[in-house]
């Protein structure tokens, strides 16, 4: 495993699968994180899985993010769409470069990373086999009706999250359900930080949905 910069400009890490037939986890860090942040989480969720972990290319006061925001909770929607398409292109090229199955990619995002993962579901619905979104909000309302039929999504939210209003999380879950995704909305009695209990819930969710995620 080593840190790599590709022609796309994404600094990233790739960990090959050590278990045959394992998925590839697309690990997307939160604001201020980097390509190393979620590797341990990925190993906990699916031991032996391949892991692709890019670093966000946008800097906010020196802190990496995946897209710009205008204020807390106010996203630069033009930049969000551009960065989402850019990230999707990177994932597609990485699947060819590292020879992993492009139909077995599960996004695992936290906070800002969860938001761009949700944006990928909305803009590139065929790219992901599923997603675990830790502390997401609704990134935007899509222009047309989506079809996410059969795609499992775990939305892990904190009841006392100081950054993400409960209503925004519920709106995201409702939109994904309207698009026919299989949504599990998991509430935790916590704030914005992830807890060990919901990591365990994520691991169980992957096992329960393995037939849909690894088809």
Which residues are identified as catalytic?
111, 161, 192
- Residue among 206, 110, 127 at smallest CA distance from 163: 110
Separation CA 151–CA 125 (nearest Å): 9
Alpha helices (runs of H) in the chain, residue ranges in sequence order: 39-45, 77-98, 112-123, 166-178, 196-208, 210-213
**Residue 134 near residue 155 (C-beta atoms within 8 A):** no
**Residue 168 near residue 137 (C-beta atoms within 8 A):** yes
| Residues whose CB is less than 8 angstroms from the CB of residue 181 and which lie 6 or more positions away in sequence, other chains included | 121, 148, 149, 150, 151, 152, 153
Separation CA 59–CA 38 (nearest Å): 19
In the sheet where 130-134 sits, what is the strand order? 3-5, 11-15, 50-54, 24-28, 105-110, 130-134, 152-158, 182-188
């Amino acid at each position: 495993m080593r840190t790599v910069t590709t022609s796309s400009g994404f600094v990233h890490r790739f960990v090959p699968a050590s278990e045959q037939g394992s998925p590839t986890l697309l690990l997307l860090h939160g604001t201020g994180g980097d390509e190393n942040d979620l590797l341990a989480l990925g190993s906990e969720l699916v031991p032996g899985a391949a892991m692709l972990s890019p670093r966000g290319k946008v800097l906010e006061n020196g802190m990496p993010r995946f897209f710009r925001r205008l204020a807390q909770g106010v996203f630069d929607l033009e930049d969000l769409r551009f960065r989402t398409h850019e990230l999707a292109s990177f994932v597609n090229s990485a699947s060819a470069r590292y020879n992993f199955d492009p139909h077995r990619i599960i996004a695992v995002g936290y906070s800002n990373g969860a938001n761009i993962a949700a944006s990928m579901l909305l803009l590139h619905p065929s790219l992901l086999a599923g997603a675990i979104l830790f502390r997401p909000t609704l990134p935007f309302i899509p222009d047309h009706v989506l079809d996410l039929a059969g795609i499992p999504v775990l939305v892990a939210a904190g009841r006392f999250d100081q950054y993400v209003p409960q209503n925004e999380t519920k709106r995201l879950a409702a939109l994904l359900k309207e698009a026919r995704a299989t949504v599990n909305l998991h509430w935790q009695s916590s704030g914005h930080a992830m807890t060990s209990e919901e990591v365990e819930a994520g691991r169980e969710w992957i096992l329960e949905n393995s037939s849909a995620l690894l088809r």
